[in-house]
């Protein structure tokens, strides 16, 4: 399921699965009507990744709305991060990039320079480790 809808104040762009299994995956980006005319394009990559590109005063902003698989789904997580990397590689190198996500990750509170601070909860799960490793690879 993918598409767009207009509300009174927003343009909503969504990609996901059938509403009977909607807890499995899905993502949406809400763009306020005051800037919806700035939408250059949007692309439905799959039920977990949605790209929206906006024209701004300083250039283009690419927003990636993402939803990672839940903890314990290792093969899906591996595929998800590989796909996300391929998508990031295709984003125009001059664009600003904003990742809006539910990574289903717990990254702990051990400081990792430029990635994790010390104010979070103590728990680090395998999805959190994958997210930290991914963040290291893109900065």
pLDDT of residue 22 exceeding 70:
no
Q: Which residue has the higher pLDDT, 17 or 114?
A: 114
Instruction: Give the pLDDT confidence score for residue 102 in this predicted structure.
Output: 87
- Going along the chain from its start, the domains and CATH numbers come out as 2-104 (3.60.10.10)
Instruction: Calculate the average pLDDT of the chain.
Output: 91
Instruction: Give the pLDDT confidence score for residue 25 in this predicted structure.
Output: 79
List the one residue out of 65, 132, 131, 64 whose CA is nearest residue 104: 131
Give residue 138's pLDDT band: very low, low, confident or very high (50, 70, 90): confident
In angstroms, what CA-CA distances link 39 with 15, 31, 84, 94, 125?
Answer: 17, 9, 21, 17, 36
Q: What is the DSSP string of 1-61?
A: -EEEEE-SSEEEEEEE--GGGTTS-EEEEEEETTTGGGEEEEEE-SSSEEEEEEEETTEEE
Tokens (6 digits) for 61: 């902003």
Beta strands 96-102 and 59-67, pairing class = parallel
pLDDT of residue 42 exceeding 90:
yes
> Any residues with CB less than 8 A from the CB of 73 and at least 6 apart, and which?
none
Q: Render pLDDT for 64-118 as a digit per residue (tens, 0 to 9).
A: 999 999 888 889 999 999 999 999 999 999 999 999 988 889 999 999 998 999 9
Least confident of 9-13, 25-29, 39-43: 25-29
Helix (DSSP H) and strand (DSSP E) numbers for the chain = 2, 7
Instruction: Give the pLDDT confidence score for residue 1 in this predicted structure.
Output: 82
């Amino acid at each position: 399921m993918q598409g767009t809808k207009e509300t009174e104040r927003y343009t909503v762009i969504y990609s996901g699965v059938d509403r009977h299994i909607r807890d499995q995956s899905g993502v949406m980006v809400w763009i306020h009507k005051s800037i919806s005319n700035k939408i250059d394009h949007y692309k439905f990559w799959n039920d977990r990744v949605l790209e929206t590109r906006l024209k701004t005063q300083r250039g283009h902003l690419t927003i990636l709305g993402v939803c990672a698989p839940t903890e314990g789904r290792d093969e899906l997580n591996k595929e998800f991060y590989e796909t996300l990397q391929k998508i990031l590689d295709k984003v125009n190198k001059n664009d600003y990039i904003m990742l809006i996500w539910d990574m289903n990750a717990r990254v702990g509170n051990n400081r990792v320079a430029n990635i994790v601070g010390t104010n979070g909860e103590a728990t680090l799960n395998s999805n959190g480790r994958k997210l930290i490793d991914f963040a290291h690879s893109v900065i």
